[in-house]
A and B are shown apart, each in its own frame.
With several copies, the nearest count.
Chain A
Amino acid sequence: MAVVALSDVVVLLGRFPALAGATLSVEAGQSVLLQGANGAGKSTLLRLCAGLLRPENGTATVLGSDLFKDRRAVRQKVGYVGHLSMLYDDLSVAENLRFWANAAGVSEKQERAAAERMAIDGRLFDVPVKALSAGQRRRTALAVAAARRPSLWLLDEPHAGLDQAGRDIVDELITDAAAAGGAVLVASHELDRVAPVVDRFVTIAGGLAIEQSQTQQAGGHVDLV
């Protein structure tokens, strides 16, 4: 069964149809790159799949739950990393990791492993999140999501702000997740970077999702202008 099954989905932000009838299906074990111009609707699609937005029209099922009816069930199972870090500014990195691991019912061991995986500098554990640099913050957010070992990853420009080492880790994360039978949706503008690690390319444009053909995938670069 498809992990993500959207058909003709409309999502309104205010009155604006950020998604205007998108159709997309993603199987377990697949990783998909969402590309497209600014304002095309990539972030909206990811937030929809995370159960954070309400579809207006169409049909939408994620991880077996209907997004019109049971968004709560979806939310618990996805690993969403968006533009905001979802961390508490006043707590230290270690405290944030601990809190979110507890909240998701994740063991301390799993949490440590995730922090290690994201190569979070030991010095940072006691630094309050508000003092972190952009990239350090992003790493911590990724570690929080990774600790939960989600079966569906929703990554919104995950490379942005990360240094070379961090980028390699994210690439690994994507490949590993797909290999382990999870599904991954990555919105990104760094096509050259993401192309080698994903299975499929989908272009989002004008609130629609357009599958790219094999040939274009091979090129790894689809010009949108």
Chain B
Amino acid sequence: MVSVDQTARADSMGTSSKTTRILGGVLLAGIALWLFLAFVVTEPDIRIDGTSGQEIGQFDAFRLIYVHVPVVFVAYTAFVVTAIGSIMVLVKRSVWWDLVAGASAEIGALASALTLITGSIWGRPIWGTYWLWGDVRILTTLVLFMLSLGYLAVRRLEGTAEERARRSAIVGILLVVNILIVNRSVEWWASQTIHQDSTIAEAAIGGSKAFTLFYSIVLAMGLFTWMMIHRFRLAWLERQFDRFGLDDALTSRRAEAASVLEGEMS
């Protein structure tokens, strides 16, 4: 239904702009610097045990912190944006915010998945297991990830754009409510945690490590912004594309009436 020249039009639009290209360039350089900081500048986590004199610590596994912690921040930010977007859909009846909420939730789901994956990989050498039951942060992250999958499943249900927007908005708002409840319950359930505190304390984070961690969080937020813009624009273009398609579809749909209209004239 979409004619060739319209396809071309949509192609030439793309999802980037001058600003995002610059941002992209900066981020690319940022990633190079990040790799340099994470693998060259910073030391692995090696300490000497006071009594036995053996080397202990997390060794190179520690470097995972420069991925793990930043993606957590991205996940949290993304879901906050989803919640805001969902509320705005209902308040302003705007599809724009629906696309924001959707784009952000996708990134949030990805980031929480990455948190789980990097955390599990990290857990294997440090705790001797991929998974720790009874740890608040780990479990809330998991449930958060699952809730976001549910939200994305709802976004994919059938219906008109408006219908889907309202439905998803309700689930999006419930997402936040759910996160709060989950947080409460898991906190009570598993108040003990062997998760991050000990790590930071033992690894004596400071100096170049602290800087690199801080830097990677900033970089991750930059990446989040960049991805948000692109994902949103893609969704927006898809909508526009539907609009172009709609014009054609309307024309060919109306053409079906031609014979009847002729009969009416004569």
Contact = CB atoms under 8 A, between A and B. Distances in A.
**Are chains A and B native binding partners rather than an unrelated pairing?**
yes
23 contacts: A10-B250, A14-B158, A15-B242, A15-B245, A15-B246, A17-B250, A21-B250, A21-B254, A36-B260, A37-B256, A205-B256, A205-B260, A206-B253, A206-B255, A206-B256, A206-B258, A207-B250, A207-B256, A207-B257, A208-B254, A210-B260, A210-B261, A224-B260
B249 A17 contact: yes
Contacts of A218: none
Nearest to B263: A222
Interface string A197-225: 00000010111101011000000001110
Interface string A142-174: 000000000000000000000000000000000
A212 B264 contact: yes
B163 interface: yes
The 7 closest A-B pairs by CB, nearest first: A206-B256, A206-B257, A205-B257, A205-B260, A20-B253, A207-B253, A208-B257
A207 B256 CA distance: 8
Contacts of A17: 246, 249-250, 253
Given A12-B160, A15-B245, A17-B253, 11 more contacts: A12-B246, A15-B242, A15-B249, A21-B250, A21-B254, A40-B256, A54-B162, A54-B163, A203-B260, A205-B259, A210-B261
Among A37, A40, A205, A210: residue with most chain B CB under 10 A:
A205
B205 to A, nearest CB: 53
A135 to B, nearest CB: 14
Nearest to B158: A14
Interface in A29-43: 36-37, 40
Majority secondary structure, A binding face: loop
Interface string A38-63: 00100000000000001010000000
Most buried by B among A16, A20, A224: A20
Interface of A: 10, 12, 14-17, 20-21, 36-37, 40, 54, 56, 203, 205-208, 210, 212-213, 222-224
A21 B260 CA distance: 16
Contact of B254 (A54, A207, A224): A207
Most chain B CB within 10 A, of A206, A212, A223, A224, is at A206
Nearest to A222: B263
Nearest to B1: A15
A15 B242 CA distance: 8
Contacts of B246: 12, 15, 17
B75 to A, nearest CB: 33
A208 B260 CA distance: 10
Nearest to A40: B256
A16 B254 CA distance: 12
Nearest to A121: B256
A40 B246 CA distance: 17
